[in-house]
Amino acid sequence: MEDSIFTDNTKGFNPANDGPRANEMIKVREVRLILSNGENIGVVPTREAIYKAQQEGLDLVEISPNSVPPVCKILDFGKYKYELQKRKNETKKKQKVVEIKEIKLTPMIDIHDFNVKLKAAQRFLTEGNKVKFTLKFRGREMSYQDQGVSVLTRMQEQLADIAKTELEPKLEGKMMSMRLAPIGAKP
């Protein structure tokens, strides 16, 4: 029996990148062994644990590499990797990515154009996205900032039943912006 391949040094190994180590990839002297039926055997030499796994026709898989000694379990490695991937995909599926959709307006917007922008905002909000309204002032329109505020507040009032105001209308240079979030969404 040659023990030169075993080291207690686990530096440089990142289980997140390589996945869990199995069988001969486990380079420590001793492991805490859990059998395939869930029985905890305790601390045993790694070679003995690998031998027990081979007798059952399964693999020795490192479950908790950061504990001292590492926790290893006898199980089917392919099935274990499949279950890990399946769990990872499930958590990814449950995540909802909230986008911020932007709608551009002008202070002199016509009623029909306003209604088209309103319908687009309603669609975005019902899909669960946030909506940022940007109102751009050009030239002499800067002297009619109150008209820009009235356009944004009218939009805010029309969408009050499905959206809450996240950012009030605010002037930044020649742009006035406001952000709405769907009701029930977290800020």
What is the CATH number that goes with domain 100-182?
A: 3.30.110.10
- Could you tell me if 180 and 163 are in contact, meaning their C-beta atoms sit under 8 angstroms apart? yes
For 84-94, b/e burial (b = at least 16 CB within 10 A) is eeeeeeeeeee
Say what the pLDDT of residue 9 is.
46
CA distances from 69 to 6, 48, 60, 164 (A): 13, 15, 14, 53
**Other beta carbons less than 10 A from residue 75's beta carbon:** 20
d(CA 118, CA 40): 63
Query: Starting from the edge strand earliest in sequence, which strands make up the sheet with 130-136, in order?
Result: 100-105, 130-136, 175-182, 163-172
Q: Is the pLDDT of residue 95 over 70?
A: yes
DSSP structure class, residue 85: H
Per-domain boundaries in the chain: 15-91, 100-182
CATH of region 15-91, choose from 3.40.50.300, 3.10.20.80, 3.40.50.720, 3.40.190.10? 3.10.20.80
- Could you tell me if 169 and 177 are in contact, meaning their C-beta atoms sit under 8 angstroms apart? yes
Provide the mean pLDDT of the chain: 86
Report DSSP letters for 56-80, one per residue.
HT-EEEEEETTSSSPEEEEE-HHHH
Which is more confident, 94 or 106? 106
pTM summary value: 0.53
Say what the pLDDT of residue 148 is.
92
CA distances from 6 to 2, 29, 33, 56 (A): 9, 6, 17, 23
Q: What is the pLDDT of residues 142-158, one digit of tens each?
A: 888 999 999 999 999 99
